Amino acid sequence: MNDETRYILSDAARGLDVPTRRLFLRNALGLGTLAMLSGCDVVDGLSAERVLGAMSDFNDRAQAWLFNPNTLAREYPARMITRPFPFNSFYTPNSPDLAPRIDPREFLLNVTGLVERKDDWTLRQLYALPRFTQITRHVCIEGWSAIGKWTGVRFSDFLARVGADRHAKYVTFRCDDNYTTSIDMATALHPQTQLCFWMNDAVLPRQHGFPMKLRVPTKLGFKNPKHIGEIAIGNDYTGGYWETYGYNWFSGL
Q: Mean pLDDT throughout 189-216?
A: 98
Maximum CA pair distance of the chain?
Answer: 60
Closest CA to 143 of 242, 15, 14, 38: 15
Range in 42-46, 178-182, 189-193 with the lowest mean pLDDT: 42-46
- Above 60 in pLDDT, residue 26? no
Global confidence as pTM: 0.78
User: What confidence tens digit (pLDDT) does each residue in 222-236 have?
Assistant: 999 999 999 999 999
- Above 50 in pLDDT, residue 7? no
What are the residues whose beta carbons fall under 8 Å from the beta carbon of 242, sequence distance 6 or more?
A: 90, 181, 222
- Above 70 in pLDDT, residue 146? yes
* Total residue count of the chain as it appears in this document: 253
Q: Mean pLDDT throughout 134-162?
A: 97
User: What confidence tens digit (pLDDT) does each residue in 57-74 have?
Assistant: 545 555 555 558 789 999
Percent of the chain at pLDDT exceeding 90: 71
| 228-234/108-113 β-pairing | parallel
Closest CA to 220 of 134, 135, 139, 136: 139
User: What confidence tens digit (pLDDT) does each residue in 121-133 have?
Assistant: 999 999 999 999 9
Tell me which of 100 and 33 has the higher pLDDT.
100
Q: What is the residue-averaged pLDDT of the chain?
A: 84
Confidence at residue 57, expressed as pLDDT on a 0 to 100 scale: 56
The structural domains of the chain, ordered by start, are 3-66 (no CATH), 78-245 (3.90.420.10)
Tell me which of 64 and 220 has the higher pLDDT.
220
Confidence at residue 100, expressed as pLDDT on a 0 to 100 scale: 96
